[in-house]
Structure 1
Amino acid sequence: MTETRVTIAIAEGVADVRLARPDKLNALDPAMFAGIIDAIATLAAAPGLRAVVLSGEGRGFCAGLDMASMASAGSGIDLAARTHGPANDFQQVAWGWRTLAVPVIAALHGVAFGGGLQIASGADIRIAAPGTRLSVMEIKWGIVPDMAGYALWRGSVRDDALRELAYTAREFDAEEGRALGFVTRIADDPHAEAMALAQAIAGRNPHAIRAAKRLANLEGDAGGILTAESEEQAALLRTPNQIEAVMANMQKRPPRFED
Structure 2
Amino acid sequence: MRVTIEGGVADVRLNRPDKRNALDPAMFEALVLTGTELAADTSLRAVVLSGEGPDFCAGLDFGSFRAMASGERLSARAELPEPTGPARATGQRAVHVWTELPVPVIAAIRGNALGGGLQVALGADIRIVAPDAVLSVLEVQWGLVPDMTGTQVLPELVGRDVAKELAFTGRRVSGTEAARLGLATRVADDPLAEALQTARTIAGMNPHAVRGTKRLIEMAGRVDLAEGLAAEQREIGALIGSPNQVEAVTARFERRAPQFAD
The question of a shared fold, defined as TM-score above 0.5 by the shorter chain, is answered with: yes
Q: Does the 8 Å contact 1:101/1:213 carry over to 2?
A: yes
Residue 224 (structure 1) aligns with: 227
Residue 105 (structure 2) aligns with: 104
2:220 aligned with 1:237, yes or no? Answer: no
Secondary structure (helix, strand or coil) at the match of 1:193 reads: helix
What are the equivalent positions in structure 2 for 1:162-177 lying under 5 Å apart? Answer: 162-177=163-178
Q: Does the 8 Å contact 1:110/1:132 carry over to 2?
A: yes
Percent sequence identity over matched residues?
A: 51
**Paired residue total:** 253
Cα distance per residue 1:21-76 (max 9 Å; x no partner): 00111010111111111111111122300000000011100000113146448256
Cα distance per residue 1:78-105 (max 9 Å; x no partner): 69x9724111211011111000000000
Cα distance per residue 1:170-194 (max 9 Å; x no partner): 1111111111111001101100000
What's the offset of the Cα at 1:161?
1.0
Q: Does the 8 Å contact 1:130/1:188 carry over to 2?
A: yes
2:33 aligned with 1:30, yes or no? Answer: no
Residue 179 (structure 1) aligns with: 180
Of 61, 66, 87, 2:61 maps to 66
What are the equivalent positions in structure 2 for 1:9-28 lying under 5 Å apart? Answer: 9-28=4-23
Cα distance per residue 1:126-172 (max 9 Å; x no partner): 00011100100000111100001122224221221110110010111
Secondary structure (helix, strand or coil) at the match of 2:128 reads: strand
What are the equivalent positions in structure 2 for 1:92-171 lying under 5 Å apart? Answer: 92-171=93-172
Specify the code of the residue in structure 1 equivalent to 2:39.
Answer: A
| TM-score normalized by the length of structure 2 | 0.92
Structure 2's unaligned 5+ residue stretches are none
Residue 52 (structure 2) aligns with: 57
C-alpha RMSD over aligned residues: 1.7
Residue 260 (structure 2) aligns with: 257
Q: Does the 8 Å contact 1:203/1:255 carry over to 2?
A: yes
Mapped to 2, the partners of 1:217 and 1:110 lie a distance apart of: 28
- Following TM superposition, the consecutive aligned residue runs of length 4 or more in structure 1 with deviations greater than 4 angstroms are 75-79
